[in-house]
Every structure is written in C-alpha cells, then in structure tokens.
A and B are shown apart, each in its own frame.
Chain A
Amino acid sequence: MLFNSYSFVLFFAIMLALHHMPFSWKTKKINLLLASYLFYAAWNPPFILLLWLSTFVDFHVGRALYNENNRTRKKLLLVISLIGNLGMLCFFKYGTFLLENFTTLVTALGFEFHPASPSIILPAGISFYTFTTLCYTIDMYKKESQPVKSLLDFSLFVTFFPHLVAGPIVRPPQLVPQFQTPRMATRLQLMQGLFLLSLGLFMKVVMADTMLAGASDSVFNFPNPLMPLDAWMGVLAFSGQIFFDFAGYSTCAIGVAMTLGFTLPENFRYPYGAIGFSDFWKRWHITLSAWLRDYLYIPLGGNRKSEIRTYVNLMLTMLLGGLWHGASWTFVVWGALHGIYLCIERMLRSKKTPREDSELEIQPTIITSKRKPMQTVSASFAPSFLRGKKMHLFFAALFTFFLVNVTWVFFRANDFSTAWRLLRSMFGFVENGAVLLSTLDILRVSVITILLVLTHWFMRNTNVLALTQKTKWWATGLAWAIMLILLVVSQKSSDSFIYFQF
C-alpha cells in the first residue's frame, strides 16, 4: 500500500480510530501487527510468507545467539542467520544480475552458456526488512542489547507498517522498548504527525511526481546527446525528485508513526546543505549510512588499522552501499564515486594542521564515529580561501551539491551508455545536442532547485517541527493549507516511490 493512495487514507483512518479505542495494549499491538501484514499484503500477498519466515527464524536464532556460550556454535548460528537473510536478499534481488554477469564471464572465456531468463519478482521492501532483522541477530551475537522477549513485539518491530517497506531502517533499541509499554499519541504528537504526513505527501506527490519527474524522465530516456542546459536540467530534476521522493516517504513514515504515539529515527536532514561528503552522509539516508558504518565499516576495521586499510574499508563500504540500492553496475559506480569523494576528503583533512582543524570545527565523520548523535558539521574540506566565512561555506556546499549531481547520473541512468552520453552533454562534449525541455520545465526545475538548496542551507541546523514552533500559527496554517491544496490539485495519487525498487 502506498502512502499516496486512497487505499492508505482509508487504512490509516481505520488504524487511527482503532488505536485510540479503549482496547488493552496487547489487543492494540495485535491490531497494529495485523494491519502491518495487511499493508504489506496489499502489494503481493504471497510475499508475506517471506516476511513471516524471516521474522520467525530471526526471533529464535537471535535468542539462541544471545544465550549460547559456545563460540563455535555461536558462530554457526550467526552464519545460519546471515545465510538465511542475505541468501534471500541475494536470490530475489541479485539472482538475475549474478546470472547475467556469470553468463557474460563464461561467454568471454569462450564457453557456450545460455540460461533461461529467471524472471524473479523483487518482494517490496526486502532490502529494508533484511537489514532490520540482520542488525538484531548481529546485536544478539555481540550481546549489544537484550533479546526481545515476546514474538509479538519482535514481529511488530520487523513489520511495523510505517517503516516496513522503505525505512527508516530501525534498530531494536530504537523501537522494541516502545512496544513494551502502552503508548498513545499526545494531542501534540497527533498534530505534529499529521503535519509531517501532509509535508511528506506534498514532497512526494507535488514536488517529486508533478513538478520534477517529467523533466527527469524526458532527459534520462532521451536516446541522443543533448544541449548542456537540457542535460543539467534533467540531472537537477532527478536530484530534486529523488530527495523529495525518498525524504517524502520517510517524513510520511515518521508522521504516521507519530500519530500512533511512536517515534522513528530521522532519515534526512537537509542533505543538499551538506559541506563535504562525510557531512552529506550524515544527512542523506541517515539510518542506512549508520547501519553500514556499524555493521560493515567498523567490523571491517574502520579507521583502527592502517591509513591504506581505512581507505580500502571506506571504498568497500560505499561500493556495497551502492550495490544495496540495486543490482546493476551503475549503482556500484555511484557508490564508488561517493567512496572516492570520501577518501579525497579524508586525505585533504589529514593534511590540515590542528589549528586549521579547530578553525573549521570539524566533527567526527559518520563513518568513524560510532553511534554518535547527529552533530552539525561546519566544514570538512572547504578550500583554504573559503574558510572562516559563512558565504564561503555556502560555496563549499554548492560544490558538494555539484559533485552529488554528477553521481546521480549513474544512479538514474539505465546503463553506462546513457550515463556517458549525459555526462558528455552536461559538460559540452557533444556537437549539435538536441533541445528537449520546454521553457516551463526549465523554469520549474530552476526555481525548485534554487529554493531547495537555499532551504537546505538555512535549515541545516534545525528541523521543520522546530520551525513551526517559531512561526505564527496563521503562517503555519497557511503553509499547511497550501501544501494540502497543491496535493489535491496535483491529483497524482498512485505513483510508486523510487526507493521501493531497492
């Protein structure tokens, strides 16, 4: 079920009513669990079996891992859990990709191999709930938190519908305790949740689908070279589209959970206001970058080993992060570019003198700080001539935004030839590029991009709920009404979220 569908409006209204009825806490939890299964089954009912399997196996394996003292048996249990979870993910998400690459390889070696096309359907949200259950079993292995006592609470932790399909990726200590004691949204939480839900839907339906998707699709689907203006507008449109789409989903999820009295972790914090890439990854898909840091980068050795090894770990983490997004080499290149940017940033930072560092108020990067709360980064690799003044930091943020846009080309392009064609078009390496986009498209992409970057810059140290506190009630009401009116007028009610394919 999509948040931006009439089915969800009906579902949500019923859920909200049920959750505010005078039932026992256990009944309410059962309601929430059944509703979550219904929410998931509304896509493709048979795949709910996978969800049950994953929940059941990880609940029992997790408990056994925590209680097991024999190291060999403990490792064996962990391997079973990893094979179970990652095996399922590999089969459904990477099965076709692996087979295609294997076929290419053996054909290159001169062998005749023509396997049948497997046509595997990707279950919605499998990447997200696999990571949710994986972190539980790994935490149990490391005894970093207590095993969940009730299967009901664990099932709800895995399946709770606001985060189930596209995150935020939750950790057991963030959500499980919330199921252990009765919870009901306060009136403030209810209002804030409804406000966030409206904002998230506005971001998705109005900004991503109505205003930006058209230009982005036109440019990325165009088979010939383009004028630089058109190519840039298409990439900027996608840059805005993917932010509004994914951050919109997360905002809806957080808002919906809040109306029921639950708190989900923040997933986006104005990423296009980031100064540098370590800052960017503290602001973009925060729960995924934190997951990769804690369950991949640090176990690989993090920055505790040699300098070279740190760079290798960074690259590996980002390459796998890229592959997590999709079974294609273009995603791997997207991850590789982010890895390279992070390595260069680290290199530049390590060359700075301590005095320069203190001037720049550099905070630990998300990759090296383990489970630290979000901290504001003033600067991380701004060139020396830009340091010290806010305006200069703004230009450093613009430079970061520029580089991020280059990476989005690989993320959005269906293949490398499209990506190269677009990059050549963007930087003027084509002759007689086509003019494609209408003036209307150019105007809306330009205006939205400027407003987006400025908003992210000025909001980088605050959040929208804090802003509503400072704003006059009528101004908040007016903004809220404009969002809802544009939502009604946009009428796009059922376009899927981009991150559902991951």
Chain B
Amino acid sequence: MQLKNLSKAGIFAVILVVAFIVGWEWHWRSKGFQITFNDDKQLWAVKRAEVYQTKRNATVFIGSSRIKFDLDIPTWEKLTGEKAIQLALVGTSPKLLLQDLAEDENFKGKLVVDVTEVLFFSQNPVFHKSANEAIAFYKKQTPSEKLGSTLNFALEQQLVFLEEKRFALNALLHDLEIPNRPGVFAVPPFPKGFEWTRFDRQTYMSDMFLADTSLLNRQTAIWEKLIMADKTPPVSGKALEKEFEEIRMAVSKIKTRGGQVIFVRTPSSGPMAKGEQKAYPRQRYWEAMLRYVQADGIHYSDDPGTANMICPEWSHLSPKDAITYTHHLVNTLREKGWFTSQKTTL
C-alpha cells in the first residue's frame, strides 16, 4: 500500500514537473526571450583559461560592462583574424583582473584594459567583489566544478529559463518590487530583456529593450539612482597616486615578460557622460594615469568616428554601434602596431 501510494505520488510529481518545465520555457520564449548564458564565474573561468594563447593569436579584454557591450567579438575576429578573449566583469573594477594577469608568469599576451573611471579607480570593496570571486573560483576550481560547468553550459544552451539573473526564484521575487522602509538601499531590478550574453561572453542589448522607450527610461533611472547612492568622493591625492602605482607595477610586469598592454575609454553619453567628466576630469585621471603608467591609451572622444556615439541608456552601445566602434578600435590599434597579421579593415 505504502509503495503503491509513493509510486503514484512519484509519477504524479514527475508529470507535474515536466509539464511545468515545458510550460515555463514556452512562457518565456513566447514573451520574446531567447537563449542567453549566465554571465557568472563559471563562464568567466572558461575564458580565463584561454589567455595563454600567443600574441599572434589573441587579445585579452578586461574592464567593466562597457567593453562587453561595445566590443563586437565576431566583428573583431573577422577583421583581425585573432581571437578576442572577453574577461571584463559587469559592475566591477578590472584592477584585480589586471593584477591577476600580471602575477601569472605564463601570461605573455596582449591585453586591452577598458576604463570606466567610477569603477576603475574605486576603492569600494563592492566594486572588487566579483573580480575576487571569479579569480578565486578559477584558481580553486575542483574537477567536479569543471564537470558541473560543462553540464551547466549544455543545459543553458537549450533552455531560456535557466538564466539566474532573470528567471531564478530570487529574481522573480525581486520583480515584485515590494516597497522598502525609508533608508533601505536596494538596486531596482534591471529591465528583464535588457541584454543577452553569448558563450564567448559577448553581451548585447536586446531588440525588445531598444524598441521600448519605457524600458530605456527605466534603465537610465536605475543608473541615476546608483550614481546618487555612491556618496564617496572620487579618489584623489596620495590615494590616487597609490592606485596609479599599483597599475603601473602590474603593467610593467606584463610588459617585462614581452606582453602588450593598452588602455581604452569606451563611449558614454547623456547625463552619465557629463557626470563622469565632472567627477573624473580627463586630465586628472585618464591622462595622468597614462603618463604615470607609461602606457598607451585610446579615448573614444579622440576619434571623430566614435566621439559622438550615442549610448541608448547613456552607458553602453547598441549592437549596431558596437560593430562600428569595433571597426574604429581595430583601425586605431592597427595604427599603433597592435597586430602582426595584415588583415584589412573598413
């Protein structure tokens, strides 16, 4: 009797679960959502393991979210014949990533460092957390975790709802947006269809997001809230010099081993760009850093082709503009002797 009951219960449960999975997947697909990968430490670790390719074969990118949107990897690879290894982390300063590569004696390749000043020069531990976690995960990854990642990617490739940031229980609960007590800081959920991420860690804005003004406005309101929330003044004086020194040491280590490092400043626009220019004047931060570090840099405003690019939500380029930006970036890099191959561009 007990066996019969439990067996019936088990079969009933399996039917309900399968029905739910089919229905849940259909529900999100019918709303226009598509396959996207979790842009997490597992995926980052896969890309981190690829940095040991020769200078002839690949360029590694580190930075924050902007380079993930603004560099179009297929365009880059088509133009250069080189692989683009995307290691930038969203909402994170790349300083720890730079230091991690500098400490890795086996890394002797080419490195592009994307600078978003508010994150890059920040000493707030919040902006270094993801980098810390990703590096630690990569270094301590167990055989079981590696196998788990492989299985995970295979499933994520098939099912839309397996994207934690958008469809996991926590994300769905946060979507309820229950009002908080005065004084509680909470980041409002990003619009659900903001962006997709591919296996190569290329991130791009979705058509549904770009077509919906209310979603664009919602996203800009989130940026405003986040900017307003950070009351710490921009780093300056001795503390800034210390930051410069740490960056200089890391860059120097890579160059000593025969590697190449260049800094890029990707576009921003609207109130975001104005705020950034006010808080982090180019001369005091970007130019001063390049001088101190003795490294080359590419600022979007120096190239007439990128100087006036518009970011739909002030901070990242649309997929179409990312292709244009990548063309310009490749051209500028080629002029600076970054590539050894002779592939032609525009």
Residues of A bordering B, CB below 8 Å: 1-2, 5-10, 41-45, 186-188, 191-192, 194-195, 206, 210, 214, 434-440, 443-444, 468-469, 472-474, 476-478, 480-481, 484-486, 488-494
Q: Which chain B positions have C-beta within 8 A of A439?
A: 178-181, 184
Interface size, chain B (Cβ < 8 Å)? 47
- For A45, the chain B residues whose CB sits under 8 A away are 143
Centre residue among A5, A7, A187, A490 by max chain B CB count within 10 A: A7
Contact A489–B186 (Cβ < 8 Å): no
B181-215: contact bitstring with A at CB < 8 Å (1 yes, 0 no)? Answer: 11110100000000000000000000000000000
How far, in Å, is A71 (CB) from chain B's closest CB?
46
| B interface list, Cβ under 8 A from A | 2-14, 16-17, 20-21, 24, 42, 142-145, 147-148, 151-152, 155, 161-162, 164, 167-170, 172-174, 176, 178-184, 186
Extra contacts, 13 of them, besides A42-B144, A435-B181, A490-B169 (Cβ < 8 A), are A7-B151, A10-B151, A43-B143, A439-B181, A439-B184, A440-B173, A473-B6, A476-B5, A481-B20, A485-B17, A489-B169, A491-B164, A491-B169
Of A472, A474, A493, the contact of B152 (CB 8 Å cutoff): A493
Query: Are the CB atoms of A41 and B143 closer together than 8 Å?
Result: yes
* Closest CB pairs A-B (n = 9): A477-B12, A42-B144, A481-B16, A477-B9, A480-B13, A6-B151, A476-B9, A481-B13, A435-B183
Given the complex of chains A and B, what is the CA–CA distance between A42 and B145 in angstroms? 8
Shortest Cβ gap from B127 to chain A (Å): 16
- Residues of chain B within 8 A of A214, CB atoms compared: 170
B215–chain A nearest beta-carbon distance, Å: 22
B145 → chain A, closest Cβ, in Å? 7
CB neighbours of B17 from chain A (8 A): 481, 484-485, 488
A284 to B128, CA, bound (A): 38
Across the interface, B184 reaches (CB within 8 A) one of A5, A195, A435, A473, namely A435
When the two chains form their complex, are residues B152 and A194 in contact, meaning their CB atoms are under 8 A apart? Answer: no
Question: In the complex, what distance in Å separates the CA atom of A480 from the CA atom of B6?
Answer: 10
Q: How far is the CA of A403 from the CA of B346 in the complex (A)?
A: 72
CA–CA, A281 to B167, complex, Å? 40
How many Å from the CB of B226 to the closest CB on chain A? 16
Query: Could you say which residues of chain A place their CB within 8 Å of the CB of B152?
Result: 6, 493
Min distance, Cβ A466 to any Cβ of chain B, angstroms: 10
Give the distance in Å from the alpha carbon of A194 to the alpha carbon of B14 in the complex.
Answer: 12
Beta-carbon nearest neighbor of B179 in chain A: A439
Q: Compute how far the CA of A214 lies from the CA of B173 in the bound complex, rounded to whole angstroms.
A: 13
Question: Of A10, A477, A488, which is in contact with the most chain B CB atoms at under 10 Å from its CB?
Answer: A477
A438-B186, A469-B2 in contact; A195/B10 too (CB < 8 A)? Answer: yes
Contact A7 B144, beta carbon cutoff 8 Å: yes
How many angstroms between the C-alpha atoms of A469 and B179 in the bound complex? Answer: 43
Q: Could you tell me if B162 and A494 are in contact, using CB atoms closer than 8 angstroms?
A: no
B24–chain A nearest beta-carbon distance, Å: 8
A192 to chain B: which residues have CB within 8 Å?
6
Note all chain A residues with C-beta closer than 8 A to B7: 187, 191
- Report the separation of the CA atoms of residues A489 and B4 in the bound assembly, to the nearest whole angstrom: 29
Q: In the assembled complex, which residues on chain A have CB atoms less than 8 Å from the CB atom of B176?
A: 440
Q: Kindly list chain B residues whose C-beta atoms are within 8 Å of the C-beta of A485.
A: 16-17, 20
What are the residues of chain B within 8 A of A468 when measuring CB–CB?
A: 5-6, 9
The residue among B4, B6, B14, B183 with the most chain A CB atoms within 10 A of its own CB is: B6
22 pairs of residues in contact across A and B, judged by CB atoms under 8 Å: A5-B148, A10-B151, A42-B143, A43-B144, A187-B3, A191-B6, A439-B184, A440-B178, A444-B173, A468-B6, A469-B2, A473-B6, A473-B8, A478-B16, A480-B12, A481-B12, A481-B14, A484-B17, A488-B17, A488-B20, A490-B169, A493-B152
A5→B178 contact, CB < 8 A: no
Which A residues are CB-close (under 8 A) to B21?
Answer: 488
Q: How far is the CB of B111 from chain A (nearest CB, A)?
A: 28
- Residues of chain B contacted by A191 (CB below 8 angstroms): 3, 6-7, 10
Find the B residue at minimum CB distance from A198: B13
Cα distance A45–B142 when bound, in Å?
A: 9
Residues on A with C-beta less than 8 A from B173 are 440, 444
B10's partner among A42, A194, A436, A491 (CB-CB below 8 A) is: A194
**Distance in Å: Cβ of B253 to nearest Cβ of chain A:** 22
A435 to B174, CA, bound (A): 18
Contacts of B184 in A (CB 8 A): 435-439
Chain A residues with CB below 8 A from B20, complex form = 481, 485, 488
Q: How far is B184's CA from A45's CA once the two chains are assembled, in angstroms?
A: 45
Say yes or no: B143 contacts A2, CB within 8 Å: no
- Report how far A477 CA is from B6 CA in the complex, Å: 8
- Which B residues are CB-close (under 8 A) to A440? 173-174, 176, 178
CA–CA, A452 and B76, complex, Å: 54
User: Do A473 and B186 touch (CB < 8 A)?
Assistant: no
Contact residue among B6, B12, B178 (Cβ-Cβ distance under 8 Å from A478): B12
A206–B176 Cα distance when bound, in Å, is 18
Instruction: Give Cα distance in the complex from A45 to B141, angstroms.
Output: 12
CA distance A478 to B10 in the complex (A): 9
Q: Write out the residue numbers on chain A whose beta carbons fall within 8 Å of the beta carbon of B9.
A: 195, 468, 473-474, 476-477, 480
Nearest CB to that of B176 among chain A residues? A440
Taking the closest CB of chain B, its distance from the CB of A13, in whole angstroms, is: 12
Taking the closest CB of chain A, its distance from the CB of B308, in whole angstroms, is 40
Cβ contacts under 8 Å, B42 to chain A: 494
Q: Once the chains are docked, how many angstroms separate the CA of A7 from the CA of B143? A: 9
Q: Which residues of B contact A437 (CB under 8 A)?
A: 184
Kindly state the separation between the CA atoms of A434 and B182 in the bound complex, as whole angstroms. 11
Q: Once bound together, how far apart are the Cα atoms of A195 and B9, in whole Å?
A: 10
* Docked pose: A115 CA to B161 CA in angstroms: 52
Provide the residues of chain B in CB contact with A43, threshold 8 Å: 142-144
Chain A minimum-CB-distance residue to B151: A6
B6 lies within 8 A of A206 (CB) = no
Evaluate whether A434 and B169 lie within 8 angstroms (CB atoms) in the complex, with A45-B143, A477-B13 already known. Answer: no
Do A188 and B2 touch across chains, with their CB atoms under 8 A apart?
Answer: yes
Complexed CA–CA distance, A10 and B20 (Å)? 22
Contact of A188 among B3, B11, B151, B183 (CB under 8 A): B3
Contact A434 B179 (CB under 8 A): no
A residues near B4, Cβ cutoff 8 Å = 473
Cβ of B148 and Cβ of A7 under 8 Å apart?
yes
User: What is the CA–CA distance of A404 and B17 in the complex, to the nearest angstrom?
Assistant: 37
Closest to B177 in A: A440
Q: A195-B6, A438-B184, A494-B145 are in contact. Are A484 and B13 (CB under 8 A)?
A: yes
How far is B176's CA from A440's CA once the two chains are assembled, in angstroms? Answer: 9
CA distance A444 to B169 in the complex (A): 12
Partner of B144, one of A1, A188, A473, A491: A1
Task: Please judge, given known A-B contacts A192-B6, A488-B17, whether A474 and B167 are in contact too, CB under 8 Å.
Answer: no
Q: In the complex the two chains form, is B144's CB within 8 Å of A10's CB?
A: no
Q: Distance (Å) between the CB of B163 and the closest chain A CB?
A: 8
Q: Are A477 and B186 in contact (CB under 8 A)?
A: no
- Closest chain A CB from B193 CB (angstroms): 18
| Complex interface: chain B residues within 8 A of A438 (CB) | 178, 180, 184, 186
State in angstroms the CA–CA spacing of A489 and B170 once bound together. Answer: 9
